[in-house]
Amino acid sequence: MFRVEGGAIVAGTLERPIPRNEFLCTTEEFGDFELKLKFKVLGEGANAGVQFRSQRIPNHHEVKGYQADLGDGWWGSLYDESRRNRVLAAADKGLIKRILKRDDWNDYAIRCQGRHIQLSINGQQTVDYTEPDEAIEQRGLIGLQIHGGKPSEAWYKDISIRKL
């Protein structure tokens, strides 16, 4: 489900539906960090994201944890994948409409320090969230996601991480 093409990691395909969510994850866990990358998402109804502070679910294809979301209705929002299964902080749709370059490369920045999480697209902050639940783990894997559904591709490149 993942391949390297033109210097980018490409998830999914435009040739056929995506059978299920798939994640390409680090083997190292991260706590406090700043992650920067470029992304573009192609395909009608495409949905993808960047997992962080996440864990693989044993004997399953899913991971659970925070997701910096990508896709219509989700751009720049913070979702809790396979744990609370809900948007924790939604990006302003008006802001997204102004800053997002559809079907083209965009910058994503994810900054986590303590319980504080900030997301930015193209230099504009979309989420400023502080985790209120002290039981939620603040360390974990980072992963690139393609969501199951219609034919789609998520492209990721120029990925860098700086531990804080």
Q: What pLDDT was estimated at residue 44?
A: 92
Overall domain count for the chain: 1
Cα gap 136→114, rounded to integer Å: 11
Question: Which among 151, 156, 155 has a CA at the least distance from the CA of 43?
Answer: 151
The pLDDT tens digits of the residues spanning 47-92 come to: 999 999 999 999 998 999 999 999 999 999 999 999 999 999 999 9
pLDDT for res 135: 96
Q: For residue 129, which phi and psi values (nearest 5 degrees)?
A: -130, 140
Structural domain span for residue 91: 2-163
- Angle (nearest 5°) at CA 162 between 157 and 164: 150
CB 55 within 8 A of CB 137: yes
| CATH assignment of the domain containing 107 | 2.60.120.560
* pTM (predicted TM-score): 0.95
